[in-house]
Amino acid sequence: MAGAGHRRGPLDGGVVIVVGIETSTPRTSVAVGDGQDILASISLAGKARQESATPALEYLLGATGLDLAKVAGIAVGVGPGLFTGLRVGVETAKTLAQVLHIPIVGLSSLDTLAYAVRHTHKRIAAVIDGRRGEVFFSLYRSVPGGVVRETEPAVVKPDGLTAELEAVTEEVLAVGNGAMLYRHELEELKRVEVGTSVSAHPEAAVLVELAVPRFLREEFDRPFDIVPLYLRKSDAEIAWDQRARGAQA
């Protein structure tokens, strides 16, 4: 190991290289940034995305000539979002953090989505498609340097979303693939503007920018505390009755 005896710290040399992994939506994005700049990022949609986080990172490191040993932290989007992608992204991030012995930070995909459009004067509704006719949603307000989340992430049906936004007295910018999916319903509300494809998905490059201050302040998460945020939690038991009948077979 290079630099034996000197544990690589996030503030080493004043530069913190962070790898971001975002897989909350049907898109996988991976980015590498150093706190000053995004050095490289890749963002993929479609069928190949599910196994693409690790190869994408390898490609980015190869293309930038960065050594994995120089990476000081891992930032991961923890959802809310879709199971399939989140499981892969979160596990990939945790594995990297543990193998490289570097800190990890988990951030809400809705925060990342909202942060990307923080330069608006409008209120921001971050809306991710949750499938099954539901969306994940939080409301934000822009403040200098960032956004402040005003409502806890919730899973709502489209009419619930429009009701929430109708109650907002200011103009609203609704971003995310969930907002785009229900564009028609949202645009019937006069004060609501719906974002386009550039703001449809939480991007790892944004995630990295959002996460760097956390690394600089050493506000890390414990790897085991990082779990995908599904929102649709259910403690219910399956109402098995006929299984018992055939269970002996």
Partner 1 sequence: MEAVLRAVTVDDTRSVGEALAPLLEPRDAVVLTGELGAGKTTFVQGVARGLGIEDQVVSPTFTLIKEYSGRLDVAHVDVYRLDRVQDVMDLGLDELGQGEDVLLVEWGDVVEELLPVARLRVELTAEDPDGGSEVRRIALSGRGSSWEERWPALATAVGPWTVAS
Which residues contact partner 1 by CB under 8 A?
26, 46-47, 82-85, 87, 131-132, 230, 232-240, 242-243, 245-247, 249
Distance separating alpha carbons of residues 126 and 136, to the nearest angstrom: 8
The b-or-e profile of 112-137 (16+ CB within 10 A means b, else e) is bbbbbbbebebbbbbbbbbeeebbbb
Sequence letter at residue 204? A
**Closer by beta carbon to partner 1, 167 or else 236:** 236
Phi, psi of 77 (to 5 degrees): -80, 125
Smallest gap from Cβ 232 to partner 1, in A, equals 6
- Three-state DSSP state, 149: strand
**Closer by beta carbon to partner 1, 60 or else 82:** 82
Helix (H) or strand (E) holding 63, with range, is helix 53-64
**Closer by beta carbon to partner 1, 29 or else 142:** 29
Q: Is-contact 185 125, C-beta < 8 A?
A: no
Smallest gap from Cβ 8 to partner 1, in A, equals 36
Smallest gap from Cβ 43 to partner 1, in A, equals 17
CA distances from 144 to 35, 119, 127, 213 (A): 18, 9, 22, 15
**Closer by beta carbon to partner 1, 20 or else 26:** 26
Q: Which of 172, 113, 178 is nearest to 147 (CA)?
A: 113
Smallest gap from Cβ 157 to partner 1, in A, equals 13
Smallest gap from Cβ 98 to partner 1, in A, equals 22
**Closer by beta carbon to partner 1, 170 or else 237:** 237
Smallest gap from Cβ 203 to partner 1, in A, equals 20
Query: For residue 131, how many C-alpha atoms fall within 13 Å in the half-sphere facing its CB?
Result: 10
**Closer by beta carbon to partner 1, 33 or else 228:** 228
